[in-house]
Every structure is written in structure tokens, then in C-alpha cells.
Amino acid sequence: MRFQMIGDNDNPLVDVSLGYQEKIKLERGAMVYMQDVEIEGKLNSGSKGVGGVFRAIARSVTSGESMFITHAQGTSDNGHIGIAPAIPGCIRKLEVGLNQYRLNTGAFLACDDGVAYNMVLQKNVGGALFGGTGGFFIMETMGKGDLLVNAFGSLVELEVTPDRPLTIDNEHVVAWDATLNYQIRFASGVIGFTSGEGLVNEFHGSGNVLIQTRNVHNFAGALKSFLPSGS
């Protein structure tokens, strides 16, 4: 993917160059501008047919994300499309191929047409539902190419080794190596009430995890007291 970051480092916009009939996939609603580019919405399931429809519906219902994903294609040798995530924060390129990744809800921004994905059922879906964070389905990459992920705040990369597993609040997890094993559980006590924490992901094995430095739900909660209540 040929692209450049525009704007400040904390809240960039991505300008992607597309040649004639060159394609990328991007998150629905992420398009800011386009020139010599056409876009089309398709099911956000990674599969076709009736199964793809039901998988897209299930993902939309359980994670709150759209049933559709946008496909963009250049109509000349000098096409451009500007894309930006819904939340303020950093954007990072991941190289898909030798490494494959799993993405938490809301992390996907765009990818090359050569990158494919499956929607994988979360482990411990009961915990995911009761904890109220994340979705039932996560995106697992396949194929080869560039992948853009976005974060709320800055992006930090953490290492997991066999002798040092890593526990991360689920709301801060952005993406991780698909080779890592992980479990979803409550941080402590009865659904985390004793510590004030909620759902966490516990990673085991060898690989890296990308986390975001801010929590969208905590930020929304902090703003709530300053917003006028409905009459």
C-alpha cells in the first residue's frame, strides 16, 4: 500500500495512492476524500453467500460494528483516497504475510486487497458478553500485504515470552500476533468489582501485542458528568 500520513502525529489522516484498478479495503465511514477512486460497500464477514450474510449480521449484533466494509478502487493511474478513523489517536502499519494478526473490535482501518480475513469467535464468549467489552468476533488476517490499525491515544508494543505471560485490560488491546494463545477473564474478584477493573486478556507464548494508551469507555464515562442530562 502506497500511503503517507498527513496532519499531526497524534491525529493523522492517511492519504492512499491507488493506480488504475488497484484496490484496498477500509472501515465503513473512514473515507474523508477521494479523487479518481470509486467505492463500494460489501459484507463485513470475510466470506460469501448465506453464511457470509449471517456472519456479518452476527458480528454487527454482538460487537456493534457495521455489517459492511468499504472497497475502494482507483479509476486512473493517479487515484487518491483520504481515510481517518472515528476516534482520535495514532495509526500503525502492520505487514501481513510471515506474521498474521488478530484485531480487537474497532482496530481495523484499512488493508491491501491481498490481505484477507476471517471473523473468529472470541474465546470465553460468556465473559465477553457479561463484561460488556469487545465483541463476540475478532478479525484474523490471512494473505499478504499492508494493514493499517488505529488506536485511541498512542500505540505501544509489548512483548510476550513463554516465561513471562502478559495480562492486558481488554479495552486497551488493539492487535496481537496470531501465534499467541490468549484467555479472556475478569481481572479479579466478582466480575472485577474488587479492583475496579473489568475484562482482561491474558496472553501466553512468543509474540507481540499492540495496545492503546487510552480507554474509550473510561473517557466517555469521565465526560458524562459534564454533559447535560435529558429533560
Give which of 94, 101, 93 is closest to 142, Cα–Cα: 101
Q: What is the pLDDT, as a whole number, of residue 231?
A: 55
Looking at per-residue pLDDT, the higher value among 37 and 53 belongs to 37
pLDDT tens figures, 87-129: 999 999 999 999 999 998 889 999 999 999 887 776 655 444 4
CB atoms within 10 A of CB 62: 18
Average pLDDT, the chain: 83
What gap in Å lies between CA 57 and CA 93, rounded to an integer?
A: 28
CB atoms within 10 A of CB 210: 23
Residue 133 banded pLDDT, cuts 50, 70, 90? very low
Give which of 139, 146, 29, 166 is closest to 86, Cα–Cα: 29
The CA-based diameter of the chain, rounded to the nearest angstrom, is 59
Q: Name which of 35-39, 83-87, 117-121 the model is least confident about.
A: 117-121
Burial 21-47 (b: 16+ CB within 10 A, else e): ebebbbbeebbeebeebeeeeebbbbb
Joined together, the cell numbers standing for residue 192 give 472485577
Given a cut of 50, is residue 131 above it in pLDDT? no
What gap in Å lies between CA 98 and CA 63, rounded to an integer?
A: 28
Q: What is the pLDDT, as a whole number, of residue 47?
A: 52
Find out whether 136 and 128 touch, Cβ atoms under 8 Å.
yes
Average pLDDT over residues 182-209: 75
Domains defined along the chain, listed by start: 2-224 (3.60.160.10)
Share of the chain above pLDDT 70, in %: 77
Paired strand residues for 39: 72
DSSP 75: S
